[in-house]
Amino acid sequence: MAMLELENVHSYYGNIHALKGISLTVEQGEIVTLIGANGAGKSSTLRTISGILRHRAGSVTFEGQDLSQYPAHKIVNLGISQVPEGRGVFAQLTVMENLEMGAFVRTDKKEINDDIDHVFSLFPRLKERQNQVSGTLSGGEQQMLATGRALMARPKLLLMDEPSMGLAPILVDSIFETIVNINKEGTTILLVEQNALMALQIAHRGYVIQTGEIVLTDNAESLKSNKMVREAYLGH
């Protein structure tokens, strides 16, 4: 049984049919990437998994549990955290307060403090700025904070939505290196990323989505050499 499974999922924004029968799986320990053009349905897929967008047909299961019966905050309790597109930090709160908000559903104070130390080990820049108001951080620092905040819930599955968006190339390399390290520590990752080449370099498998439908799936190496993927997403 896969850790996460979407089967023939249909999701809508009002009358707009965003996901048109999406099926995908994520196995424990994997990095799986979902690539596609803007508006293809990548973020809608993550929003459906996390319960922010409710699917009208099909099924979404996590570790065998039907997620449709849970509100979004209970899905966090089950072990799914999301790093949203655009970072979404609490701009008026400090770095430390943002991290504490990530642990909102937890009560194990000592372990929370240990996890804050762990986030600071992943992102030393955040430790230097722990008392700084988050809205004054650079884009790269906000991305670090959004990732660290999501990790504070101790997720089994981390959903990452466009982590490289708007970042300088040197920071993109750093963020992707951290994603690999997070995965090596045991967190399964479903990655949505506009930079398809970078995503496929670190992923185990990938799915290509077009206008709300999965059109291709394969291991990452095969997708990198696929003619359609190379022409549409890799600039060849």
Cα distances from 143 to residues 20, 133, 152, 154, 179, in angstroms, run 30, 14, 14, 18, 12
CA dihedral in degrees (186, 159, 164, 207; nearest 10)? Answer: 100
Residue type at 67 in one-letter notation: L
Q: How many CB atoms lie within 10 A of CB 78?
A: 15
User: Distance between terminal CA atoms of the chain?
Assistant: 37
Total domains in the fold of the chain: 1
Using CA of residue 202, residue 114, residue 100, residue 76, what is the dihedral sign?
Answer: positive
Which amino acid, one-letter code, is at 8? N
Determine contact, residues 142/87, Cβ cutoff 8 Å.
yes
Whole-prediction pTM: 0.93
pLDDT 10s digit of each residue in the chain, 236 long? 899 999 999 999 999 999 999 999 999 999 999 999 999 999 999 999 999 999 999 999 999 999 999 999 899 999 999 998 877 899 999 999 999 999 998 889 999 999 999 999 999 999 999 999 999 999 889 999 999 999 999 999 999 999 888 888 888 888 899 999 999 999 999 999 988 999 999 999 999 999 999 999 999 999 999 999 999 988 76
In contact, 189 and 158? CB cutoff 8 Å: yes
Query: Could you tell me the strand order of the sheet in which 205-210 lies?
Result: 80-83, 157-161, 188-192, 31-35, 205-210, 213-219
Q: Tokens at residue 220, please? A: 């990452």
CATH number at residue 139: 3.40.50.300
Domain span at 197: 4-233
